[in-house]
Amino acid sequence: MAEKKIKDEGESGEVREQIIKIILAGGLFVGSFFAGGALKLALLIIAYVIVGAEVIFNAAKELIREHSIDEEFLMSIATVGAFAIGESTEAVAVMLFYSVGELLEDIACERSRRSITALLALRPDKITLKRGGELVSVPLEEAKAGDIAVAVAGERIAVDGIIIKGETSLDNSALTGESVPISAGVGDPVFGGGINASGTIEIKITKPYGESSAARILELVENAQEKKAKTERFITRFARKYTVIVVALALFIAFVCPIFTGYAETFVSWLYKGLTLLVVSCPCAFVISVPLSFFAGIGCASKNGILIKGTSSIETLSKLKAVALDKTGTLTKGELSVVSYTGGEEALRLAAHAESRSTHPIAKAIVKAYGKVDDGIIEEATEQAGKGVTAKIGEDEVFVGKCDGEAEGLAVAVIKNGEEIGKIFLKDELKPDSAAAISSLRALGVEEIAMLSGDRLSAAEDIAKKVGITDVRAELQPEGKCAELEKLKARGAAAFVGDGINDAPVLAMADVGAAMGGLGSDAAIETADVVILDDKLSRLPTAVKISKKTIKIVYECVAFALLAKLAVIVAELFGFAGMWAAVFADVGVTILAILNALRALNYKAK
């Protein structure tokens, strides 16, 4: 973390240095208009060296070490050539405005990056630990798994852990995008980056900061550019070849065209045209705006509780044709709850006491439905995996186990002293936003939506009917899900949405794997391309909307830059434009492209 802080300070220092250079050079440039002769030339040369020396050095280094030419090479040749033909004022103007464009690019990129890091609200430098009955404030790096941390009301939680004392409400909006605080007490997890909104709590640390959810999510977002989109990779390759072509064309215009025209006295004017072409053709606008647009799109998604781990996923999301979804934990809450029971309160009471020592989801749901149990009346309890629980409660022998239930749920029988006295029916509740999410995906152009579930067909069909899915493929093992997804991929780009743990194989093979509720799941963060941090399926269509908007902005930036440059090139060849127009077509268009790219960061998906 110290390295990151140094990096941030270094970037800010570079921006300040750029600003100082531009102010100094700009002052000398303006002063040259009030001077004449040798003084004017001296002022222009000094101004040029201030803003242009580093550009020329970088261009020469790239040419010598990498044997390649880039936009800095174009700027260097064009401006040095302009000095050679006596156009020193225009030479300085080109380099000065180019530097202004580079400064604005750096500021825009830093703004985009900071908007992402701000989502996770930079960690505190100190953490309060409980040691030997005393509270001690220590550097965050010293906190380790097993330590007891104390967080007071209003304090940002620094690390992942489990609450061992106290109750509070947690504001995880910086992590999940969810603005409503959640209640938490003993046994509940907390995550670094969230805010302790009310009471004082004690937390048993499960992971040091460097391994916490917040730190890992932030690292993944900042490294998202490593997984570049096809469009971005194409622009990078295109820019390299484009620059070589531009240089060759400029040489042809400057040295060959005068020969064909037969007018030796026009050599300087043709050279001027060639140099102008170098300036106007600089690929800065699309080389800068395309990656910046993608990065801004990732930032926008993060604001909405969606972690997109690479720009390639944005491109794929924008053209989704098929989506496959798991049932449990994706369309449903993944938590069983008691919906009804027979046999009255006695059946529920006995079942809750019998199940109270089990950690099975069915047991937890029954105990939750009943309330607090009296452990003193439970003499013994034995659990048989896959069958049920046998317990002696007071004078009664009680067995609670699965039996035939409703088509859309499951049931357990309550047997007292060998006689069934009732049944308890449980269901996995549907998430409130599932149906709306499916409808939104269809409206966004997703042609095929299927459920791939390992559950019974009847249970899967019941949930599918409620959310509007007609293609149901149930009772599937992981390899079966992979096979079914492969069929869906024939339609085009296909996404799979699952819980990130059981569905790791199919998440990995999907064009885009989206994991639900990944905040506390290492498997989700590692496996999926997209992590929906707050477990809301409605975030998926939001991610698609953001991706479509981002791609639209990318195309706008590229088209605008190319058309503007082409217009100035044509005008310049016919004598209607000069170096100043070229400066606008380069720097001006770059600035407009940057501003357009940043629209992706502020896009509000509805």
Nearest to 485 by CA among 450, 461, 437: 450
CB 471 within 8 A of CB 300: no
Which of residues 411, 430, 449 is at a domain's end? 430
**417 conformational bin, left if phi > 0, alpha if psi -120 to 50, beta if neither:** left
Asked if residue 390 is part of any domain, the answer here is yes
Dihedrals phi, psi of 33, to nearest 5 degrees: -70, -20
Q: Are residues 320 and 286 in the same domain?
A: no
Q: Are residues 323 and 442 in the same domain?
A: yes
The rounded radius of gyration (Å) of the Cα atoms in the chain is: 32
Q: Are residues 20 and 134 in the same domain?
A: no
What pTM was computed for the model? 0.71
Which of residues 370, 404, 430 is at a domain's end? 430
Asked if residue 87 is part of any domain, the answer here is yes
Cα(147)–Cα(150) distance, integer angstroms: 10
Cα(446)–Cα(438) distance, integer angstroms: 9
Asked if residue 458 is part of any domain, the answer here is yes
Nearest to 322 by CA among 201, 167, 135, 451: 451
Report the number of distinct structural domains present in the chain.
4
> Residue 576: what pLDDT?
77
Q: Which amino acid appears at position 107 of this protein? A: I
> Residue 343: what pLDDT?
92
CATH number for the domain including 524? 3.40.50.1000
**For residue 353, what are its two tokens?**
């006491």
Asked if residue 362 is part of any domain, the answer here is yes
Q: Are residues 426 and 442 in the same domain?
A: no
**For residue 21, what are its two tokens?**
């250079």
Q: What is the dihedral of CA 338, 341, 345, 348, to 10 degrees?
A: -50
Which of residues 380, 409, 430 is at a domain's end? 430
CATH number for the domain including 354? 3.40.1110.10
CB 590 within 8 A of CB 285: yes
Asked if residue 521 is part of any domain, the answer here is yes
What's the maximum distance between 2 C-alpha atoms anywhere in the chain? 117
Active site residue 433: no
> Residue 3: what pLDDT?
38
Q: Are residues 100 and 81 in the same domain?
A: yes
Q: Are residues 276 and 260 in the same domain?
A: yes
Q: Are residues 51 and 184 in the same domain?
A: no
Q: Are residues 235 and 111 in the same domain?
A: yes
Asked if residue 148 is part of any domain, the answer here is yes
Instruction: For 324-336, give one letter per residue: b (16+ CB within 10 A) or e.
Output: bbbbbbbbbbbeb
Nearest to 453 by CA among 395, 406, 408: 408
Q: Are residues 327 and 435 in the same domain?
A: yes
Asked if residue 605 is part of any domain, the answer here is no
Sheet arrangement for strand 332-341: 332-341, 419-430, 410-416, 396-403, 388-393, 378-384
CB within 8 Å of 121: residues ≥ 6 apart: 156, 174, 193
- Which whole-number Å values give the CA distances from 585 to 254, 271, 459, 567, 576, in the listed order? 20, 19, 62, 9, 14
**Residue 364 domain boundaries:** 334-430
Q: Are residues 232 and 274 in the same domain?
A: yes
Q: Are residues 172 and 228 in the same domain?
A: no
> Residue 47: what pLDDT?
94
CATH number for the domain including 199? 2.70.150.10
Residue ranges for the chain with pLDDT beneath 50: 1-10, 122
> Residue 226: what pLDDT?
54
> Residue 390: what pLDDT?
92
Active-site hit among 326, 462, 503, 586 = 326
Q: Are residues 488 and 572 in the same domain?
A: no
Q: Note the pLDDT tens digit of each residue in 530-586.
A: 988 888 999 999 999 999 999 999 888 888 888 888 888 888 777 777 777 777 777
CB 286 within 8 A of CB 240: no
